[in-house]
Amino acid sequence: MLHDQVILLKKVKKSQKEGMKMKKIKSTLLIMLFISMTSISNAQDMIQIKGSDTLINLVQKLAEVYMQENPGKYISVSGGGSGTGVAGLINSKCDIADASRLMKDKEIKQAQALGVEPKRVVIAIDGLSIISNKNNPVKELTVDQVGKIFRGEVKNWNEIGGLNKPITLYGRQSNSGTFDFMVSEILKGDHASTMNRMNGNSQIVEAIEQDSSGIGYVGVGYAKEATGITVIRIATKAGGKYVSPLVFENVITGEYPISRPLNQYVNGAPKKNVRDFIDFELGIKGQQIVEEMGFFPIPQEYKDFNKQSLGN
């Protein structure tokens, strides 16, 4: 194929001596050939990654650096949500599914029925930060209080030591991975139906910057950059130590209670190029990027889990 290109290039060079028209036609042909060739080669060994919006920025960055280091490798990363990614994996529309939640039993069964064997890999840890407006005097809460607030049992800030102001809740849409995590790990119940459902982390940050009565949850990466908000310190139980997710060690050691693993799912033992990329993600450089993007590197227990899952 390269040979063909060289010949065409030579031909184009020759045609420079000929009329302008010829040259134009030939160069357009050449461009078209290039485009079609690159798209063909892309399609052959391009890794398709789809899924969680929490993970998309991180995985895009990982893919960018990986492609820089390995010219000739192509990775396409798109979002759409954990459900989209998992559906893509089930239907063999993508090689890797990003998921900020675990795959549900139903989904795993569906995948198996279609001959797909989902394997889970944990690539990073996310501390979920509870944020409020920076003018709100409440800076510390217990996990129990957070649960009460988001279940709608506590309705006014003065019930938890704040001003006399009704609480406005901001969360994610139902069945987003983040929402799922809050329901099953922190609330142990349903969100208040009056909670505003925001389409993504940055919209929650945006809303809380403007709303002095607001409280919401976003990935630590999104909270780090924002200016008009307070990241609330959380204690596991009343009388316990209030810790901030912005401090690295708190999340890694598990002292900060609201954290979760971020996953990727692959089909069975992955192909070489997919495996290569995952090894990069889990390697030193990849985990450095994880940290740069505001997430936390995986602890030993998950490293062992990944090894088992991928089967060396």
CA distance 111 to 66: 29
Distance CA 245, CA 212 (A): 22
Sign of CA dihedral 133, 158, 128, 78: negative
Contact residues: other proteins, CB under 8 A: 53, 80-84, 86-87, 90-91, 104, 106-107, 110, 165-166, 168, 173-177, 179-180, 183-184, 187-190, 192-199, 203, 206-207, 210-214
Nearer to other proteins, 196 or 273 (CB): 196
Smaller CB distance to other proteins: residue 158 or 168?
168
For the CB of residue 221, give the shortest distance to other proteins in the complex, in Å.
19
For residue 205, the minimal CB distance to other proteins (Å) is 11
Nearer Cβ to other proteins, position 174 or 308?
Answer: 174
- Number of helices and strands (H, E) in the chain? 13, 11
Nearest-approach distance from CB 52 to other proteins, in angstroms:
8
Q: Smaller CB distance to other proteins: residue 227 or 300? A: 227
- Pair 260, 185: CB distance under 8 Å: yes
Tokens of 88: 């893509």
Alpha-carbon span 131 to 183, nearest angstrom: 17
CB closer to other proteins out of 190 and 304: 190
Please report how close the Cβ of residue 151 comes to other proteins at its closest, in angstroms. Answer: 10
Q: Measured from the CB of residue 308, what is the shortest distance to other proteins in angstroms?
A: 25
Query: CA 106 from chain center: how many Å?
Result: 22
- Closest residue by Cα to residue 167 from 229, 215, 208: 215
